[in-house]
Amino acid sequence: MEAGKPEATLKPDKEVTEFITAVIDSLVMWELLVFLWNNPGITDKADGIAGRLGRRQDDLIPCLQSLVKNKIVESWGDAADPIYSYRPTTARAKSLEKFIQLHNDKEGKLWIWTRLLHKGLR
């Protein structure tokens, strides 16, 4: 950055806006997505992921199931207690990367909060 010039602010685009609308329905989901992004090799059952996040397994299971449907996480094994692995499709990985960039930017994070509050997230 050159002296005297302000830093560029990240601008959310249609892709990340649609991603947030389609995927993020709770603060637990937001936290889980950031965790998965920061731990790309994670492969574990819901109770193991919940323990790492300090969350209840019952709160995490619907989020993990939604991420499977949204092609961000894969699951296999016992249907009653599956193993989950962070393996987004190429398109989802791109959207998630844009979301994480916003998450890591102060103004971007405020934009996400505003978007989720307008969506009705509490």
pLDDT tens digits for 51-86? 999 999 999 999 999 999 999 999 999 988 999 999
Judge whether 15 lies within some domain: no
Judge whether 36 lies within some domain: yes
Judge whether 6 lies within some domain: no
Judge whether 113 lies within some domain: yes
Judge whether 97 lies within some domain: yes
Judge whether 90 lies within some domain: yes
The dihedral built from the CA positions of residue 111, 122, 56 and 92, taken in this order, carries a sign that is: negative
Question: How confident is residue 44, by pLDDT bands cut at 50, 70 and 90?
Answer: very high
| Domain span at 67 | 28-117
CATH value at residue 60: 1.10.10.10
Q: How many domains does the chain have?
A: 1
- pLDDT per residue as tens digits for the range 83-94: 999 999 999 999
